[in-house]
Structure 1
Amino acid sequence: MAATIGIVGSGAVGRALAAHVVASGQDVVLCNSRGPATLESLVQELGPRVSALETSEVAAADLVVLAIPWPVVIPLLEQLPPWHGRILVDATAPASRLRLPESRDFGSLTSSEVVQASAAGARVVKSFCTLSAAVLALPPVTTTGRRVMFLSGDDADARTEVGALIDGIGYASVDLGGLATGSALQQPGGPLAGLDLRLERCASVE
């Protein structure tokens, strides 16, 4: 598992994920479009395991979560250097509400396949996108079990690493397989979008 998690985006989704990662004992580097100085209060709030850097520095982490509004996703990715096999977790949702069908036309591609095509050399994994930001901010572990977090991607090793991250911060990872099919299930309008599911606790056997 990556020692430091990079999160591109400091909105509600980025903040929620940063808080969960820090709570699991890992370090986080954050960025936004306005520069590190604007994140000072958030860094103080989240604690010493979090630091704010420039976008190019955050995007250089071994595992990076993309948590920014869809309109700026492709322009940003096209500005960044090649990924050289590093993992890019696509947490974006190209619609205003998760349960509504996408209003954008990607042709035969899913939105994550568009991300893959725009992030040269990245191993893209789709995840952290089926829950609303408000639910994502809640504890991953509840009295009835762990919240389910789906993932999909074309690289099996990348899925394994992202699955370990998901499990490590308290969620129950569910691997949906390849990017095309799995992302279609997760993206806005898909059957899994907006569903807050639990993996129930099993009673101990004596």
Structure 2
Amino acid sequence: MAATIGIVGSGAVGRALAAHIVASGQDVVLCNSRGPATLEPVVEELGPQVSALEISAVAAADLVVFAIPWPAVVPLLEELPPWHGRILVDATAPASHFRQPGRYELGGLTTSEVVQASAAGARVVKTFCTLPASVLALPPANEAGRRVMFLSGDDEDARAAVGALIDDIGYAAVDLGSLSTGSALQQPDGPLAAGTYDSLLTVSVNRTV
């Protein structure tokens, strides 16, 4: 498990994930497009395990979560250096937080396949994108059990590392396999989008997919 998790994006999704990661005892470095000084209120709210840095420093972490609007993803990736096997978690959605029912046209590819092609040397894992930000901000577990968090990726070790992070922060990880198959299921108009599954559904969901 990475000692420090980098989160690119300080919107509702990035802040929710940062809060869960901090609650699990891990450190977070956070950034946005406006610079570290603008994140002082967020850092103060989340506590001493969170730091605000420049984008290049956050993107240099061993495990980096992209939680920014889809149109900004590829241009930013093209500015960053090669990833050299580090893990890039794609938490983006090609729609506006489930308010836009369709997808951006990506030539038949999923967002994660586009991310993989744009991030040289990254091991891409798709997750944290099937719950609306308002649900993602809630505790991962409730009286019904743990909410399911789906993940997919082409690198087995990267999926295992991200699955461990998902479990650490309180969700029940469900591995959907490859990017092309699993990411399609997680798209905004896919069958798993905006679902709030608890751990009691894990076995049946696994069999379905």
2: distance between equivalents of 1:166 and 1:8? 18
Q: Deviations over 1:139-163 (max 9, x none)?
A: 0011110010000000000000000
Q: Shift of residue 187 of structure 1? A: 1.1
Q: The residue matched to 2:199 in structure 1 has which SS? A: strand
Q: Shift of residue 168 of structure 1? A: 0.3
Match of 1:72 in 2: 72
Match of 1:153 in 2: 153
Contact map agreement 1:100 1:189 (CA 8 A) in 2: no
Give the residue type in structure 2 aligned to 1:184: A
Q: Shift of residue 103 of structure 1? A: 3.4
Match of 1:34 in 2: 34
Q: Deviations over 1:48-96 (max 9, x none)?
A: 0000000000000000000000111110000000000000000001112
1: distance between equivalents of 2:172 and 2:110? 24
1: distance between equivalents of 2:103 and 2:94? 8
Q: Shift of residue 102 of structure 1? A: 3.1
Deviates more, 1:89-98 or 1:24-33: 89-98
Match of 2:143 in 1: 143
1:126 aligns with 2:113: no
| Structure 1 residues 102 and 116: alpha-carbon distance in aligned structure 2, compared to 1, 3 A threshold | farther
1: distance between equivalents of 2:99 and 2:145? 24
Aligned runs of 1:1-206 on 2, under 5 Å? 1-98=1-98, 101-200=101-200
What is the root-mean-square deviation in Å for CA atoms of aligned residues?
A: 1.2
With structure 1 as the length reference, what TM-score do the two structures score? 0.95
Contact map agreement 2:103 2:188 (CA 8 A) in 1: no
Q: Shift of residue 98 of structure 1? A: 3.0
Which aligned segments of 4 or more residues in structure 1 are displaced greater than 6 angstroms?
A: none
More helix by share: 2
Give the residue type in structure 2 aligned to 1:83: W
Q: The residue matched to 1:44 in structure 2 has which SS? A: helix
| Structure 1 residues 100 and 40: alpha-carbon distance in aligned structure 2, compared to 1, 3 A threshold | closer
With structure 2 as the length reference, what TM-score do the two structures score? 0.94
Q: Percent identity?
A: 78
Q: The residue matched to 1:65 in structure 2 has which SS? A: strand
Q: Deviations over 1:90-125 (max 9, x none)?
A: 000111243855332112211110011011110000
1: distance between equivalents of 2:105 and 2:130? 20
Equivalent residue pairs, number: 201
Contact map agreement 2:103 2:189 (CA 8 A) in 1: no
1: distance between equivalents of 2:49 and 2:103? 38
2: distance between equivalents of 1:99 and 1:40? 29
2: distance between equivalents of 1:54 and 1:16? 20
